[in-house]
Amino acid sequence: MNLMVKVYSYLIQIAFLLLSPCLTIAQDRILINSDFPGGNIEVLSIDHDTIRLKTDNSFTDGEWFYWYFSVSNITGQRITFEFEQENVYARYGPGYSLNNNQTWKWYGENRIKDNAFTFSFSDKDSIAYFSIAFPYVEKNLLSFLSTLKNHENLKVDTLCISPEGRAIHKLNIKTENGDPEYKILITARHHACEMMASYVLEGIITSILTDRNCTQLLENAEFMFVPFVDMDGVMNGEQGKNRIPRDHNRDYIDESIHHSTAALRNTVPEWSENKLRIVIDLHCPWIHSGINETIYVVGNSDPVIEKQQIIFSNLLEKNTTGDLKLYHKDFIPFGTSWNTADNYTKGRSFAKWAGTQKGVRLACTIEFPYANVSGIPVTRDGAREFGKAVAYSMVEYLNLSKEE
């Protein structure tokens, strides 16, 4: 063989070696993907039909539990998904969605064994999505807003631009005469991973706009909603909670380090015109056990605000007529459970900052569980139904305030 032929043959061999693994992957290897909005996973190994996984805790101080991935090349296969760390499932196992990511269900309480679950895919299944719960990213919000296009007093605006160049949405609902008696501010996703809070927010907005029992709100109150305070975190699938050096819900002290929190601190005092009366921040607690499986209001360190929270918490109990009930007994006064000064050493929370704003009577954080409310599985509609209770309670709260 002359030198040229040798070199040519060698190059062909290298090309074959380089291409052959790719061909195998493309044909039949199970593919795990998290490269889509909200996606989060680290693949540790794929060994035949067993996949070892870990949550991606980038930018997070310690470990947190949020994960969301797709798996393809699954047709007719039985696959085991095994997490390296503990505490990555809520009460009813993983949320899952087959062949699209529109409809989500719980896989089931008894399907987890040694941090793993096994799923048998049918001959019709080509892709599946799994997550800690039922993901909610920008496309979910846009799809929700598209159902409200006919409501002219709902305006979609931008609070500010995120560090990665995304518009951080700000929604306004104005009164018809343009001269509101009150203003109300509601936020969600200060912690990016807390997706179930977004369905509650949908329920609140829908009730304000469409429920006859909330007409009073439309007539007298102007609203501002910020659905994704940590927009980049939501879209990148980051935990958000315990973000380094401090997360969005500890960023209301000194100079804010996050764009959206700084923008809220700038925008709200001017927008308020001293009419801001109610501020609600929607969260999800830890994933399971005890208080984390109840809906509850977090007591404010200011006793004057806390007194109003107790009134509101009782109204929420009265108005939660759906399956997912809030009981006022689960209210966590400041200084009890996790709600102590020690929990706020990294900075001031949004609700605490909001409580100091001129005219604000009620500032509160509501914690809404990922999966289980006192033994009842959380569904997306159940979360929206709870949102209705929040809207009804605002109506009653404002009426009570008038009487004082």
Nearer to Zn ion, 31 or 253 (CB): 253
DSSP H helix total and E strand total for the chain: 9, 18
For the bound state, the minimum distance from the C-beta of residue 12 to Zn ion, rounded and expressed in Å, comes to 57
Side chain identity at 153, as an amino acid letter? N
**Tokens representing residue 108 in the block:** 């089931």
Strand partners, 141: none
- What DSSP element (H or E) covers 119? strand 116-120
Query: Which span (143-151, 281-289, 297-305, 331-339) binds Zn ion, by CB under 5 A?
Result: 281-289
The contact mask relative to Zn ion for 64-83 (x = CB under 5 A, - = no) is: --------------------
CA distances from 324 to 286, 291, 377 (A): 17, 14, 8
For residue 246, state whether it binds Zn ion (rule: CB under 5 A).
no
What distance in Å separates the CA atoms of residue 255 and residue 347, rounded to the nearest whole number?
11
What distance in Å separates the CA atoms of residue 207 and residue 386, rounded to the nearest whole number?
10
- Asked if 283 contacts 292 with a C-beta cutoff of 8 angstroms, the reply is no
Nearer to Zn ion, 309 or 314 (CB): 309
For the bound state, the minimum distance from the C-beta of residue 136 to Zn ion, rounded and expressed in Å, comes to 14
- Asked if 46 contacts 30 with a C-beta cutoff of 8 angstroms, the reply is yes
The contact mask relative to Zn ion for 188-227 (x = CB under 5 A, - = no) is: ---x--x---------------------------------
For residue 388, state whether it binds Zn ion (rule: CB under 5 A).
no
Nearer to Zn ion, 79 or 192 (CB): 192
Nearer to Zn ion, 283 or 384 (CB): 283
- What DSSP element (H or E) covers 106? strand 105-106
Question: Which pairing describes strands 68-72 and 42-47: parallel, antiparallel, or unpaired?
Answer: unpaired
Instruction: Choose, by CB under 5 A, the member of 283, 352, 380, 384 that binds Zn ion.
Output: 283
For the bound state, the minimum distance from the C-beta of residue 379 to Zn ion, rounded and expressed in Å, comes to 21
For the bound state, the minimum distance from the C-beta of residue 337 to Zn ion, rounded and expressed in Å, comes to 15
Query: Which span (92-100, 262-270, 280-288, 386-394) binds Zn ion, by CB under 5 A?
Result: 280-288
For the bound state, the minimum distance from the C-beta of residue 194 to Zn ion, rounded and expressed in Å, comes to 5
For residue 243, state whether it binds Zn ion (rule: CB under 5 A).
no
Nearer to Zn ion, 130 or 370 (CB): 370
Interacting residues with Zn ion between 103 and 122 (CB under 5 A): none
Question: Which pairing describes strands 116-120 and 167-173: parallel, antiparallel, or unpaired?
Answer: unpaired
What distance in Å separates the CA atoms of residue 189 and residue 104, rounded to the nearest whole number?
20
For the bound state, the minimum distance from the C-beta of residue 137 to Zn ion, rounded and expressed in Å, comes to 17
For residue 91, state whether it binds Zn ion (rule: CB under 5 A).
no
For residue 248, state whether it binds Zn ion (rule: CB under 5 A).
no
Nearer to Zn ion, 129 or 350 (CB): 350
The sign of the dihedral angle between the CA atoms of 290, 133, 260, 391 is: negative
Torsion of CA 11, 12, 18, 21, to 10 degrees: -160
Nearer to Zn ion, 166 or 191 (CB): 191
Residues in contact with Zn ion, counted by CB under 5 A, come to a total of: 3
What distance in Å separates the CA atoms of residue 130 and residue 98, rounded to the nearest whole number?
9
By the criterion CB under 5 A, which residues form the site for Zn ion? 191, 194, 283
